[in-house]
Amino acid sequence: MKKEIEIERRFLLKKFPDAQSFTQLCIHQFYVKEDGIIVRYRKTVDWDFQEVIFQKFIKKNISKGINEETQFEITRDEFNTVFKKEKIPSIHKDRYIFRYEDNGPFFEVDVFHRKTPLVICEVELKSLDQEFTIPPYIQEVIEREITGETEYSNYNLSLDGQNL
């Protein structure tokens, strides 16, 4: 089990940016209620390292852009058992991770597999007021900041009927 505070800012993008180099992950995640709490299950395929990781997350909102996240490693069987129980809201997305400056934060660009295209960029920070530089190739495709807008939470996106 790993528990940490997640601080992030999120941006809605008009399209996928022309990033230079990145790590690509394929993610399938779904949500279930366990003891009245919404729990996220995630399968991540890392093409670079040829590995598949299964995880369970409990995320608690502290304030806009700040969450407490508890993460558990689980087995493929645990993931599949929960997923097969019933029709469960889920999302599929490709995640592209890169760092713009040597000591700067990591940027994650998620491309959601949906009927209507959706691209969201997240930047993980040490504090909400941490200064960082948005790469020009992301800056030019930002539609607007969506930090704290619940309609763009992955959970709510899993419920909106747009997922393929």
Q: Using CA atoms, how far apart are residues 1 and 137, in angstroms rounded to an integer?
A: 36
Cα-based distances in Å from 33 to 10, 40, 41: 25, 9, 11
Residue 44 or residue 160, greater confidence:
44
The confidence score (pLDDT) of residue 124 equals 93
Mean pLDDT of 111-131: 93
β-strands 118-125, 142-145 pairing:
unpaired
Chain position carrying tokens 């997350």:
57
Mean pLDDT of 8-32: 92
| Annotated domain spans of the chain | 2-159
Going by the DSSP 8-state scheme, the letter that residue 135 receives in this structure is P
pTM over 0.85: yes
Concatenating the DSSP letter of every residue in 11-68 gives EEESS----SS-EEEEEEEEEEEETTEEEEEEEEEETTTTEEEEEEEEEEEEETTEEE
Over the stretch 57-108, which tens digit does the pLDDT of each residue have?
A: 999 989 999 999 999 999 999 999 999 877 788 999 999 999 998 889 999 9
Mean pLDDT of 24-41: 93
CATH number of the domain at 2-159, out of 3.10.20.340, 2.40.320.10, 2.40.50.140, 3.40.309.10? 2.40.320.10
